[in-house]
Structure 1
Amino acid sequence: MRPSLVTLIRPRRPERKTDPLLPPLRLYKAILRAHAYKLPVEIRSLGDEYVKAEFKAHKDIDNPLHIVGFLTQWQDYLKTIDGGKWMDGKLTQQELEKMSPEQVGQLYELMQEAKRVHE
Structure 2
Amino acid sequence: MASNISHVSRVRALFKAILKLHRGLPLEMRSLGDNYVREEFRAHKSAQPQEADIFMQEWTKYYVTLARQLRQRQKQPDIGQHLSPEMLDNFRDEQLGQLHELFTATTKSDPLESTFSSDKGR
TM-score bucket (shorter structure): 0.7 to 0.9
Q: 1:4 to 1:75 in 2, by over 3 A?
A: same
Partner of 1:114: 106
Deviation at 1:88, TM superposition (A): 5.3
TM-score (structure 1 length as normaliser): 0.74
Q: Kindly provide the amino acid, as one letter, of the partner of residue 71 in structure 1.
A: M
1:1-119 matches, within 5 Å, as 4-5=3-4, 7=6, 23-36=10-23, 38-61=24-47, 63-84=48-69, 87=79, 89-116=81-108, 118-119=109-110
Query: What is the percentage of aligned positions where both structures have the same residue?
Result: 35
State the 4+ residue runs in structure 1 displaced beyond 3 angstroms.
none
| Structure 2 residues without counterparts, runs of 5 or longer | 71-77, 111-122
Q: 1:114 to 1:68 in 2, by over 3 A?
A: same
Structure showing greater relative contact order (alpha-carbon pairs closer than 8 Å, 6 or more residues apart): 1
What's the Cα RMSD here? 2.4
TM-score (structure 2 length as normaliser): 0.73
Q: Is the 8 A contact 1:3 1:23 kept in 2?
A: no
Partner of 2:118: none
1:29-48: CA deviation from partner (whole Å, max 9, x where unpaired): 00000001x31222110000
Q: Number of residue pairs matched?
A: 102
Q: 1:43 to 1:3 in 2, by over 3 A?
A: farther
**3-state SS, counterpart of residue 87 of structure 1:** coil
